[in-house]
Amino acid sequence: MHEVLVIGGGPAGLTAAMFCRMRKMSVLVLDAGRLGGQLVSLYGDKPVHDWPGYAHIIAGDLAQHLIDHAREIGVEMTGNRKVLDMKPLEGGGFELATHDPTTSTDHAYSAQTVIVAIGGGAFEPRKLKVAGEETLDESALTYRLVDKARVPGKRVVVIGGGDSGLESAQTAHQAGAKVTLVQALDRFTGMETNIDQVNQMEIPRHFNSRVKALEVEDGVLRAVIIQTKGAPEPVGLECDYLVVNIGAAVNLDAIKRWGIATEGNQITVNPHMHTSLEGVFACGDIATFDGKYKLLLTASGEGCVAAQSAYVYVRKPQRVTMGELYT
């Protein structure tokens, strides 16, 4: 039995695991997919500008730095372990049932305490739900950040005016694509730096517009049909590659089955990252509290707090010091 089991191998989970190891605790990280979390699964090629010490670093590279650091100090980590169930043990602690989709095998793990750091949770990208969408494959449609290798010389339409959509538009433009942005609102909703960069690139945009249909001929995407508020007729945007970045539908059914209180699509925690279930902590994007601010940096900071709380819960020190972290 490990002292701490961390569910999720993104920045919050890896940071929590590292700080547990600095306390000389036995810790295991399980991730449903690749270690690195959303940094690799969603944003592998995305430049990161808000991680102190790096004016510019690719998300996938940052994830690898975190993984390497954790491995160097003795954190045990395993990918392709989707947690299906978690049950309390009679003598204390928890047993977790997991499944490896790559080998179709099941595995069980136990730990005295659990830190949940699963990012946005189990989610599916939101789809347009329009005619023609289901006929397209990944060569013409993606719901993730744009793959820059696919778009040079292509006509790319990006749906979504948040940070993901703006970043996809920038990446496609820089890769040599002809880009058009479509946003349902009357303004972009991303960070000011992303909005400024899109404006500097003079990327055409359609505000107050929604996709009505996709024009597909013999399985080939030809155009995106949009309707702009107040316009008499829909218009067609010529398109070879469609990027849909309009958020995700989150599924927290498993979390709720475990008896953990949630608010919206997040787990409620106190300032020490305690959940409503004793012995279980949460941190990163999956956790919420008053004043919550979602950034890579704050997710890692919450990981530190969760690790400290797990240490106190398991070891029950008479006095908490920082000395163990640096010996």
Note the pLDDT tens digit of each residue in 163-176.
889 999 999 999 99
**31 has binding-site annotation:** yes
Looking at residue 84, the DSSP 8-state letter turns out to be: E
C-alpha span between 149 and 196 (Å, rounded): 24
pLDDT of residue 25: 97
**φ and ψ of 211, to 5 deg:** -75, 130
Which pLDDT band holds residue 211 (cuts at 50, 70, 90)? Answer: very high
Is the predicted pLDDT of residue 244 greater than 90, yes or no? yes
* 213 in Cβ contact with 235 (< 8 Å): no
**285 has binding-site annotation:** yes
Mean pLDDT of 73-87: 95
**253 has binding-site annotation:** no
**43 has binding-site annotation:** yes
Mean pLDDT of 201-226: 95
- Tell me the domains of the chain and their CATH numbers: 2-122+248-326 (3.50.50.60), 127-244 (3.50.50.60)
pLDDT of residue 324: 58
pLDDT of residue 254: 84
Mean pLDDT of 233-251: 91
Mean pLDDT over each residue of the chain, to the nearest integer: 92
* 205 in Cβ contact with 181 (< 8 Å): yes
**15 has binding-site annotation:** no
Q: Which amino acid is at 318?
A: Q
* pLDDT digits 0-9 by tens, 21-78: 999 999 999 998 889 987 877 677 778 888 899 888 888 899 999 999 999 999 999 9
pLDDT of residue 207: 98
Provide, rounded to the nearest whole percent, the portion of the chain with pLDDT above 70: 96
**Residue 142's beta-bridge partner residues?**
243
Q: Which amino acid is at 221?
A: L
* pLDDT digits 0-9 by tens, 258-292: 999 999 889 999 999 999 999 999 999 999 999 99
More confident residue, 253 or 113: 113
**φ and ψ of 252, to 5 deg:** -110, 25
* 304 in Cβ contact with 16 (< 8 Å): yes
Q: What is the DSSP string of 240-281?
A: SEEEE-S-EEEE-HHHHHTT--EETTEEE--TT-B-SSTTEE
* pLDDT digits 0-9 by tens, 95-147: 999 999 899 999 999 999 999 999 876 567 889 999 889 999 989 999 888 88
Task: Name the nearest CA neighbour of 77 among 155, 13, 121.
Answer: 13
Is the predicted pLDDT of residue 252 greater than 90, yes or no? no
How many helices (H) and strands (E) the chain has is answered by 7, 22
Alpha carbon distances (Å) from 266 to 6, 120, 280, 286: 17, 8, 14, 5
The three-state DSSP-derived secondary structure of 224-245 is: EEEEECCCCCCEEEECCEEEEC
Element containing residue 298 per DSSP (H, E): helix 296-315
Is the predicted pLDDT of residue 92 greater than 90, yes or no? yes
Rg over CA atoms, the chain: 22
Residues 102, 69, 111, 266, CA torsion sign = negative
Task: Please tell me the pTM assigned to this model.
Answer: 0.75
**Residue 40's beta-bridge partner residues?**
none
**163 has binding-site annotation:** no
Is the predicted pLDDT of residue 232 greater than 60, yes or no? yes
